[in-house]
Structure 1
Amino acid sequence: MGTPSDVRPDDPTTTPTGGRGRRAVLALMGLALFVIVLNNSALNVAIPTLMRDLDADLPTVQWIVDAYSVVFAGLLLIGGACADRWGRRRVTLSGLAVFAVASGASALADAAWQVVLTRVVLGVAAAFVMPGTLAVLLDEFTGRQRATAIAVWSGIASLGVAFGPVLGGLVVAAAGWSAVFWLNVPPALVVVGAGSLVVRESRDPARAPVEAVGGALSVLMIGGLVFAVIEFGASGRPDAAVVGAAVVAAAAAVGFAARQRHADRPLVPRGLVRDGPFLGASVSTMLLFFGLAGSLFVLTQRLQFRFGLSPVAAGLAVGPVALTVVVASVCSPVLARRTGPRVPVTVGLGVVTAGLAVLATTGVHLPTVLLGLAVIGTGFGLAVPAATDVLVGRVPSDRAGAGAALNDTLQELGFALGVAVVGAVLHRAFVIAAGPGTDPAATLVSGSMDPGRASAAFDTAATAALSVAAAVVGVATLLAARWIPGRDRSTG
């Protein structure tokens, strides 16, 4: 991707980094990424406590979770373009500083709408951090070292998703839901301080203007789509708000596609939408994050509502995902070098599909849930590093920020839609199983329904929701098998 020639020749930060320095850069960018990803996954385990303390219903909680992801996903392309234009280190560390401040504001909120608002600010800040972390690594590493760095980066992202509930459970039990946001502040400040000293600057030498119109259309497209899904799940009917949001999303999608065809410097480099390996890697990654985010949204609630676990116990119960993700992420680049990327991606996706199917069909027993989570973590760790390597490898070298942003956008879009769609299925299925007019949030939190009936209704709803997640990742497996290159095909 980027090289030292991407910056001004007289920039003192262009001095090549030594081996120890590269490891320090990798550690700092990994920690920055971990903070960004942790913000979502740790919040899941705090949902029951947050619902009680802020008197929030399930659709409101979905917006607390998704307000971050919607803005994050919508602005990532702009964030990557800004990093290429104004400097990847500068944009990344500035965004992380704002992220730390917004995290403190979230922790001090005393109403659900305030949390939604501060989560929007967090999403804006994160959109300028995440693509920069990968773009810095693409500039810093080459060859086999780059593949290893991408595997570590992907593993850290996966670890943040999986380990978040563990940390979240511990801090929620100790200090309440607001502690989930305080978690972000110390590591963010460490990266800002150390990164300004260790990370060298890089940028696109063309320094083209940022395509703001396309960025605005991407926010409307993603935001309208997720809003329509969440509101349809809450009401169960296509009312005016749902239809209006869907129309806005469709119109924005058409406008975005047209804009990208004619813009001088499109946010999505031309030709990628017709590139088979890119499509296979991007779509399968998006659908994988859809399945993971949706399933964790269901499972962190199931562990507490259905099995009666405390936030700490629920977080620890998700621990098998974190452990297996780390092990599998280490193995992924080794397997990809020997077999080509198709094998780790398709095998990983197939393993995740199997784990979700186990949870959907036999997840009423705690040991089965733990086993299913371990299986999901293994597949996730195998698939994501290899798919990410293929995706960023199809992007021109001077567009490192754009390539990283594309990868991150698709992951976050999958995350947002996973919570929205799977959460909507969970909500509607619970209402159908428990009886018309039932408020799932009030029923589960207050215990107003007979415990046996409530458990049966939640099991039915969770089975439906997890089945959707499994089916979506199953589709991703087929797409990857068709489009991801094998050992004998070029990955660019």
Structure 2
Amino acid sequence: MFAVIALVAFVTSVDNTIVATAAPSIAAELGLGLTATQWVTLGYMLPFAGLLLAGGAVIDRWGARPVLSAGLAVFGVGAIVGGLAGSAFVLITGRAVQGAAAALVVPATLSLLRTSVAPGKRPTGVAIWTASLAVALAAGPAIGGAVSEHLGWSWIFFGNVPFAVAPLLIIARLRVGRADPEQSSTLAPTALALGCAAMVLGTAALVGLGDHAAYGPVPWTAFAGAALIASVLFVHHDRRSHHPIVPRSLLRTRPIAGGLVVQLLWGLGVSGAFFFTPMAHQAALGIGPTAAAVPLVLVAVALVLATPFVAPAVRVFGPRATVAAGLIAVAAGLFAVAAVNHLPAVGPRIPGLILVGAGSAFTTPLTSHALDAAPESRSGTVSGLLTASRELSSALGVALIGAVLAVVARGDGLAVGYTAGLVVAGALELLAALAAALMLAPRTGVVREAQSDSRACSPT
């Protein structure tokens, strides 16, 4: 099971970043402009985030194992479509298929971690998941640059196929993840469509904020207004539904609600800043695609090395103080990199990058904190919500920091725009730390009480 966790975490996360350093090659061969190139990445993130709203409910009703198997098969098909693409439309379509499949694969895997791994081994599973995400974050741009340079960008997508096939072979032998007969198979397609529309329109508005010519005569404010309307309608419809995508009983559980908000803010800052790091390094330092991505490896190494200290910190200080301190460290690291971004060398950036990685390790209790508070019958839903907040924050982060970078860079250049993006990202991390201090449970005992309360609220 741990092998499945590692493979799924890596391949679904690496697809968020692997395109970053290959983007110039893709744009040159397919004749894409800046906005279309950005949508190659967003085309994966948005279906991933949007369909996660329903992915958890699908798992709770039909079982984690069959959903995981189907999702992996579709993910592989999407990768093949992307690799064979000869136009922007086909490429973005393949990416969207992969994102939709990932919306099933990721929460199904996290659900199996919650229901099929012994409680004493779950911290190991969470650590493997986190380490795999860190490796994907660091390795994605480097792999994308090296593969596109030596093999061609199509092999970035063909390389996903083995990562889909291997978990399929492993889970074929598992006897876990059975469907819950008490759960209805009725979904809420209207609410799902409204939720996806709100995400896509909101992201499009942020992209348009940075590039006013992105959508021709349609201003970015039109997309922002439409996103607001879709969001209000989604909340209204979902609250009245007999089968809500976001059950209110879960949002009343403090560890779950707090975990969602904090994770959203954390990813909004970190993912957005790091997406543009290889591009900024290439422009400011004059280094190649692969070398420009290598500094991100330091973030992953720092995260992995700091992980063994997380559990003792939670036992001594509780999850609230641990997560808040980690977020403050991440903010300090981002500000430190921004302070030396004018220097034409990688070395001065290293302390800040290490601080970002180490601080991020201390945010990992968010996942286990929320999953431990979830009733077993709702583990798939909670897993989907947690991953949706991460993926939505990645998409919005790319659009938001991209807008900041584009607006500032118009007059002062890419390096100054990147510095401004780092400052905004650091401010978001401080806001996340404040949210953690106000919303998370102070001690693990509170989580157990919340778990009992949420089970009492659950229809099962």
Q: TM-score, normalised by structure 2?
A: 0.91
The DSSP-based 3-state class of the residue aligned with 2:246 is: coil
- 1:349 Cα deviation from its structure 2 partner: 0.7
Query: Which of these residues, 409, 420, 433, is aligned with residue 477 of structure 1?
Result: 433
Confirm or deny: 8 A CA contact 1:36 1:130 kept in the other structure: yes
Choose from 408, 421, 425 the match for 1:429.
Answer: 408
Judging changes above 3 Å, is the alpha-carbon distance between structure 1 residues 228 and 367 closer, same or farther for their aligned structure 2 residues?
A: same
How many angstroms does 1:424 deviate by? Answer: 1.2
Q: 1:461 to 1:193 in 2, by over 3 A?
A: same
**CA apart distance, 1:396:** 2.5
Post-superposition offset of 1:311: 2.0
Task: Letter of the 1:231 partner, please give it.
Answer: G
466-475 or 167-176, which deviates more: 167-176
Q: Tell me if 1:232 matches 2:209.
A: yes
- Unaligned 5+ segments in structure 1 are 1-24, 434-456
Q: Could you tell me how far apart the structure 2 residues matched to 1:372 and 1:103 are?
A: 35
The Cα shift of 1:27 comes to: 1.5
Give the whole-Å Cα distance in 1 for the aligned partners of 2:312 and 2:30: 47
Distance 2:289 2:47 in 1: 27
Give, in angstroms, the shift of residue 207 of structure 1. 2.8
Alpha-carbon spacing, 1:183–1:314, altered in 2? closer, same or farther (3 Å): farther
Matched, 1:119 2:95: yes
> What CA distance in whole angstroms lies between the structure 1 residues aligned with 2:236 and 2:180?
24
**Residue 372 in structure 1 maps to residue 352 in structure 2:** yes
Match of 1:223 among 190, 200, 213: 200
Aligned partners of 2:212 and 2:220 also within 8 Å: no
Q: Deviations over 1:377-398 (max 9, x none)?
A: 1111221x20111222333320
Q: Residue in 2 aligned with 1:381? A: 361
In the TM superposition, residue 107 of structure 1 has moved relative to its aligned partner by 1.6
1:142 Cα deviation (Å)?
4.0
Return the alpha-carbon distance in structure 2 between the equivalents of residues 121 and 328 of structure 1.
35
- Provide the aligned C-alpha RMSD in A: 2.0
Aligned length: 444
Distance in 1 (CA, whole Å) between partners of 2:144 and 2:444 is: 44
1:58-207 matches, cutoff 5 A = 58-198=34-174, 200-207=176-183
C-alpha separation between the residues in 2 aligned to 1:472 and 1:45? Answer: 25
Of 129-138 and 267-276, the range deviating more from structure 2: 267-276
Q: Select 1:211's aligned residue among 185, 188, 196.
A: 188
Aligned counterpart, 2:457: none
SS in 1 for 2:242: coil
**Structure 2 equivalent of residue 6 of structure 1:** none
Instruction: Find the counterpart in structure 1 of residue 456 from structure 2.
Output: none
Report deviation, 1:127: 0.8
For 1:196, give the aligned amino acid. A
Supply the distance in 1 between the matched residues of 2:307 and 2:109 (Cα, whole angstroms).
18
Name which of 23, 32, 36 aligns with 1:56. Answer: 32
Moved more, 150-159 or 408-417: 150-159
Give CA deviations for 1:105-130 in whole Å, capped at 9, x if unaligned: 11222233332222111111111111
Q: What secondary structure, in the 3-state scheme, does the structure 1 residue paired with 2:248 have?
A: coil
Q: Which runs of 5+ in 2 are unaligned?
A: 449-460
Structure 1 residue 259 corresponds to structure 2 residue 215: no
Q: Which amino acid aligns with 1:420?
A: A
Aligned residue identity for 2:193? A
Instruction: Give the whole-Å Cα distance in 1 for the aligned partners of 2:164 and 2:223.
Output: 35
Contact 1:342 1:485 in 2 (8 A): yes
Percent identity between the aligned chains? 32
1:357-413 C-alpha deviation (Å, 9 max, x unpaired): 112221233112333222211111221x20111222333320111010000010011
> 1:415: Cα distance to partner?
0.4
C-alpha contact 1:234 1:427 (8 A) present in aligned 2: yes
8 Å CA contact 2:404, 2:417 repeated in 1: yes
Map of 2:22 onto structure 1: 46
In structure 2, what residue type is equivalent to 1:391? A
Q: CA contact under 8 A between 2:57 and 2:381: conserved in structure 1?
A: yes
User: CA separation in 1, counterparts of 2:127 and 2:319?
Assistant: 12
How far apart in 1 are the matches of 2:103 and 2:175?
19
Correspondences of 1:9-20 after superposition (within 5 Å): none
Residues 158 and 381 in structure 1, CA contact (< 8 A), matched pair in contact too: no
Structure 1 partner of 2:224: 246
Given that 1:272 and 1:394 are in contact with CA atoms closer than 8 Å, whether structure 2 keeps it comes out as no
Cα gap change, 1:172 to 1:226, in 2 (>3 Å):
same
Amino acid at match of 2:369: V
For normalisation by structure 1, the TM-score amounts to 0.85
**1:206 is paired with a residue of what secondary structure?**
coil
Q: Are 1:403 and 2:382 matched, yes or no?
A: yes
1:289: how far off? 1.0
* Whole-angstrom CA distance in 2 between matches of 1:127 and 1:293: 18
Match of 1:20 in 2: none
Is 1:458 matched up with 2:435?
A: no
What letter is aligned with 1:415?
S
Residue pair 1:148, 1:333 contacting (<8 A) in 2 also: no
* Cα contact 2:83–2:155 (8 A) shared by 1: yes
Is residue 84–residue 204 contact of structure 1 (8 Å, CA) maintained in 2? Answer: yes
Q: Matches of 1:333 and 1:175 in 2, distance apart?
A: 42
Whether 2:8 is the aligned partner of 1:32: answer: yes
Letter in 1 for 2:119: G
Structure 1 residues 274 and 56: alpha-carbon distance in aligned structure 2, compared to 1, 3 A threshold:
same
Matched-pair contact (CA < 8 Å) for 2:35–2:214: no
